[in-house]
Structure 1
């Protein structure tokens, strides 16, 4: 039951995030590191990847597709970590960080800590791993 709820919550989170990447890309473009080529295309396709991953997690009859979605979303979360770190750096470097324009440490530190958890949740909900809840698949 916990895995099904986690799967549904993750799918909702990723579907909404994917939609926002496509419908409102500007905030994502602002935190994209400068070394990323074709940032608008990358933001668009990451939105597509999030939506596809969300749909894959929710497949009731295909464990193989759920596993592929779990791996894909875990890799996605790993790949966007540099953008999160870049956002952290530019936000905290701004003169008004934490006051009027920046999100501050109260947002960024938990976000950085949560990234490995999000990666693990995608793998666990996608039935790629049972660790640490069970020794092996």
Structure 2
């Protein structure tokens, strides 16, 4: 296996995920305001900016010359949103369209490191654990 099949499918999944989530940030920032930590300055502006960054990252994943930068940016983004995800989970903040249960929040928080890995792997930053044929 060359590793390209899984990389392409994961890249497509990221494009879809970040395109959709970014659109929610841009078109409905008020929905996410309650989960913003109090220490974030200008939370509405941050939500809008992150939405545009998610959409830009999704688009850049489609372009080979921008793909690695997009992957790194989306990996960093996945780390940066952890405080908002933790706040939502611990304070039980309702966000329209999302479940309120720990059956949702637990896996979502546990999945954040996986999302970081997917962004780095799908964009070509790393090959672990799927190595190209002939590599040690």
- List runs of 5+ in structure 1 lacking aligned partners: none
1:132 alignment partner, one of 118, 124, 129 = 129
- Mapped to 1, the partners of 2:26 and 2:18 lie a distance apart of 12
CA deviation after TM superposition for structure 1 residue 89, in Å? 1.1
SS at match of 1:134: coil
Higher RCO by CA contacts (8 Å cutoff, separation 6 or greater): 2
- List runs of 5+ in structure 2 lacking aligned partners: none
Q: Does 1:78 align with 2:79?
A: yes
TM-score between the two structures when normalised by the length of structure 2: 0.86
Matching of residues 54-73 of structure 1 within 5 Å: 54-59=58-63, 61-62=64-65, 65-73=66-74
Matching of residues 1-137 of structure 1 within 5 Å: 1-59=5-63, 61-62=64-65, 65-91=66-92, 103-134=100-131
Report how many residues are paired: 126
Residues 51, 34 of structure 1: alpha-carbon distance in 2 compared, 3 angstrom cutoff: same
CA deviation after TM superposition for structure 1 residue 102, in Å? 6.4
TM-score between the two structures when normalised by the length of structure 1: 0.86
